[in-house]
């Protein structure tokens, strides 16, 4: 998933995605951040226990 300065949409997307994955232990979500502000990093920090990996430029 790609993101850039859209923390509300990122949060909504991750919430929706996670609610539709039957077995969360068998998948990983990769979020590629193209240098967003701190709000995007704060959203990603809320999902640390869900096998979501964030990468920043």
Flag whether pLDDT at 51 surpasses 80: no
33, burial (CB in 10 Å: exposed 0-12, middle 13-18, buried 19+): buried
Percentage of the chain modeled with pLDDT above 90: 33
Chain center to CA of 26: 17
- Collapsed DSSP state (helix, strand, coil) of residue 1: coil
Does the pTM surpass 0.85? The reply is: no
Beta bridge partners of 1: none
Flag whether pLDDT at 37 surpasses 80: yes
Flag whether pLDDT at 7 surpasses 90: yes
Q: Which two tokens stand for residue 15?
A: 């919430």
Strands (E), the chain: 2-3, 29-33, 52-56
């Amino acid at each position: 998933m790609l993101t850039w300065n859209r923390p509300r949409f990122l949060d909504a997307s991750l919430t929706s995605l996670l609610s539709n994955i039957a077995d969360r232990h068998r998948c990983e979500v990769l979020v590629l951040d193209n240098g967003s502000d701190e709000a995007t990093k704060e959203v990603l920090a809320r999902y640390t226990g869900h096998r979501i990996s964030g990468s920043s430029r």
